[in-house]
Structure formats: C-alpha cells, structure tokens
Amino acid sequence: MTVLIIGGGGREHALAAAIAKDGAQIIVAPGNGGIAREFKCLPFTDLNEVLDWCLTNQPNFVVFGPEQPLADGWVDVLEKAGVPCVGPTAQAARIESSKAFAKELMAKNKIPTASYECFDNPQEAQRHILSQANYPIVIKADGLAAGKGVAVVENEADALSFLESISGKVVLEEFLVGWETSLFAITDGENFQTTLFARDHKRLNDGDQGPNTGGMGAFCPVPEAEKWREEIENNVISPTLKALRDLGSPFRGFLYCGLMITEEGPKVLEYNCRLGDPETQALLPLLNTSFIEICEAVTTGTVGGLKLDWSDQSSVCVIMSSQGYPGSFNTGHHLDFSREIQSLIRFGGVKEEAGRLVSSGGRVLSLVALGDNLAEAREKVYGDLETIDFSGKHFRKDIALPRNQI
C-alpha cells in the first residue's frame, strides 16, 4: 500500500502519521524538513511532476491537504490518468475557491448563512458601503486568499481601506453573533459521515485579539456543539452535497463546514474543500478507524458503510508561530528542543539546514497532546511548549480554555 500526500505543513504531517498506523508506505510532496525526519518527502510543487511520479509508482491513493492544488484541478488530471484521489475536482472545489459561488449555492438551496450581496469589483462594493451605515459588516474577497481575504470592519474608513487591498468579486456579509465550531464531512459525493466537532482559534493573540490567521490552535471534541449535529447534517451538509451533485460536480473528499452557532441556530461562515489546519492535528489522533479504509470508502463510493470509531479522549493542538506572522516575519531561526516531550510534534514551516531544523514559515510547528479531558490535554501541551525554543517564538496561552475564560 502506497499513499502520496500532497502538501507540506502540520496538517500533512498529521495525515502521514495517521496513515502510517496502517503500515502504508508514505510519500509527502513537497513535505518539509521536519516531516522528512520521519517520512519520505519528494520536492514536487508541479502537477506534471506528480503525474509522472504517479504513472511510474502507481500509488493506491493521493490524499490532498491544501486547497490550491484542488482549485487548480490536480484531481481532474490525476483521476483522468486512473490515479485514485481523495479530494474534489476543481468544479466541486469552487465551494471554497469562490465565496460568491458558495453564497449563491446556499441562497438557492436555503442553507442557513449570513445574508449577503455580491459585487463584480471593489468599486461597486465601495459604492454600496458609502450608501449603507450598519456596522460591523464582513467583507470577503471572492477567491483563495490564505486566510487574508476576510475582514470584519467596524467603520467606513476600515471598510474602504480593506477594499483597496483586494481585487475581483467581493461579497459583503451580515455580521453574525455567536460562537464558532467546525464540522467535517467525509463523503464519496453521494453519502457522507461526519467527524468529531473541532474548534479553531483564528485570532493571533490571547483573548481573541489581533488579526485573523490560518489558525493558532484547535481542540476536539466540542461537546456543546453535539446537540446541533443532526440539524447541521440535515440542513447544511446534505443539501450542499446534493446541490453539487445536481450541478454535475459531485464533491468527493472532506467537506469542511465553518459554522457560527447563533441564537437562531447554526449558520455557515464558510466551506473549505479539505481538512482544516490546525484542526486535523487535533482530530486525527482521536481517530481509531483506519484512515486507509476512509480513503477506500471515498474513492469507491462506499462511505455509507464506513464505521467511524473515535477515542473518548480530548485533544489540544497549539501552534508555535514566527514573530510577525501573519504579516512579514524572519526565518532561519534554529529550533531548540531541551528535553523529550510527551506531546506529538507536527512540523509546518521548518526546513533542514546543516543537519539542524530551522524555521522557514509563519506557522512553524504544532504540538498536540491528548488527555482524559481538555484540561489534562492543555496541561500536557503547555508543559511541553516551554521546552521548545526559537528566536521570536509566539503562541497563544488560552487555546482550549472554556469560552467564558477567553
């Protein structure tokens, strides 16, 4: 059994570790210097290199981490060449790669979400902003923006300045009040099964302050979300997958639903066409089911028969990032590990330099700990974080605290 994982961050390290439990041979492309200490990495960044490698090596599955290759149609090309892929085609990936497409799909199918208006360009959105006065308002760039395409703005000046930073279609959205959680559907296009709920912490600093990031930490499970599971499955996931089938672009892989639980119930904030980073790092250590079985079910249309089994432990993941992220930051800082740790390390922005690991990205690594409850997992992960050092390291100290303590 050979599995090729596409991507090179903490999420892909977590995928490799989960699949390794089944004894598969794992290749990560491009991976990173930290992942390469455990798994074979190939420096591919181009679809043709991946296609050539697949035609020669015939992997059983190609599993996708990030959204960009999905939006760029890698699955379309690989599947045409007979390579089984766990991830959606470019048409199905529009659910993430175009916010305007996703909003229209939700509106047409009465899927609960924030009310919105879509504009062809920032100038039209600007005209609308100048004539309306209800703040806060949420501004979203239509296309993929690595977490930088969304702003919650409190006044006209901030709205106009954010509009200047984006191009293409723009979505203006009602500001929703509530608390956030994420739910993933594993789907073959027809049937689906949902995972545990996870919660991401998107803001850079403690107390949910500072700019939005790709995610500074996550935890699983989220017991207070459980009472909404059936409603989300019936009113969000099921009609979303049906709508994509009806458009002739069935979605296969992992559908990520980012949700706001409001006074009126759950509403969709966003869809992603893949697993979350860092949610995956927290989620997968709790999965008892073989990940290979999940890949098989997705690619053979048998997700309905899948038996998902989860540990009843809790999991907490904390990201260590470079000072300055999500803005500009310095790299090349040596990672110092002062002692053995109990937590799992999932490497993100790191590379190997003269036999040592150095930082090379914004989100440098994730530490993940399990415990009988969130408090126990938190204690373990934060104990271990103190033993890892690099110049300018940053992490949040309130990941997985109860909501009223953040």
User: Using the rule CB under 6 A, which residue among 152, 247, 401, 406 binds ligand AMP?
Assistant: 152
Beta-carbon contacts of 137 under 8 Å, excluding residues fewer than 6 positions away, are 129, 152, 153, 159, 172, 173, 174, 175
Question: In degrees, to the nearest 5, what angle opens at C-alpha 231 toward C-alphas 226 and 235?
Answer: 145
- DSSP conformation letters of 133-176: ---SEEEEESS--TT-SEEEESSHHHHHHHHHT--S-EEEEEPP
Count of chain residues binding ligand AMP (CB under 6 A):
15
Give me Rg for the CA atoms of the chain. Answer: 21
Give the x-and-dash track for 58-97 against ligand AMP (CB under 6 A). Answer: ----------------------------------------
Q: Minimum distance between the CB of residue 140 and ligand AMP, rounded to whole angstroms?
A: 6
Site string for ligand GLY, 172-201 (x = CB under 6 A): ----------------------------x-
Write the CB contacts of 355 (distance below 8 Å, at least 6 apart in sequence): none
Closer CB to ligand GLY, residue 214 or residue 361?
A: 214
Q: In this structure, are residues 54 and 83 in contact, taking their beta carbons and an 8 Å threshold?
A: yes
Pattern 361-400, ligand AMP, x by CB under 6 A: ----------------------------------------
From the list ligand GLY, ligand AMP, none, which binds 215 (C-beta under 5 to 8 Å, kind-based)? ligand GLY
Residue 211 contacts ligand AMP per CB under 6 A = no
Q: Is 142 a residue that touches ligand GLY (CB under 6 A)? A: no
Token couple for 86: 């766990």
Q: Which of residues 92-131 bind ligand AMP (CB under 6 A)?
A: 114
Q: Does 173 bind ligand AMP (CB under 6 A)?
A: yes
DSSP string, 18-66: HHHTTT-EEEEEE--TTGGGTSEE----SHHHHHHHHHHH--SEEEE-S
Give the Cα separation of 171 and 230 in Å (integer).
29
The two structure tokens encoding residue 253: 């892989």
Centre a 10 Å sphere on the Cβ of residue 165 and count the other Cβ atoms it contains: 13
Q: Considering beta carbons, is residue 29 or 176 the nearer one to ligand AMP?
A: 176
Three-state DSSP class for residue 184: strand
- Which amino acid belongs to residue 179? W
- Tell me how far apart the alpha carbons of residues 257 and 182 are, in angstroms, rounded to a whole number: 6
Provide the mask over 210-229, with x wherever binding to ligand GLY is found by CB under 6 A and - wherever it is not. ----xx--------------
Alpha-carbon span 340 to 282, nearest angstrom: 20
Write down the least CB distance from residue 217 to ligand GLY, Å: 10
Cβ distance to ligand AMP smaller for residue 30 or 147: 147
Hey, is 260 helix, strand or coil?
strand
Which of residues 176, 204, 236, 385 is near ligand AMP by CB under 6 A?
A: 176
243 binds, among ligand AMP, ligand GLY, none (CB under 5 to 8 A by kind): none
Please, what is the minimum distance in Å from the beta carbon of residue 92 to ligand AMP? Answer: 18
Rounded CA separation 105/243 (Å): 7
Subset of 257-276 contacting ligand GLY (CB under 6 A): 272, 276
175 binds, among ligand AMP, ligand GLY, none (CB under 5 to 8 A by kind): ligand AMP
Question: Binding residue for ligand AMP (CB under 6 A) from 270, 277, 279, 384?
Answer: 270
Q: Is residue 269 part of the contact set for ligand AMP (CB under 6 A)?
A: yes
Contact footprint for ligand GLY (CB under 6 A): 200, 214-215, 272, 276-277, 279
Contact footprint for ligand AMP (CB under 6 A): 114, 138, 140, 150, 152, 173-176, 180, 202, 212, 258, 269-270
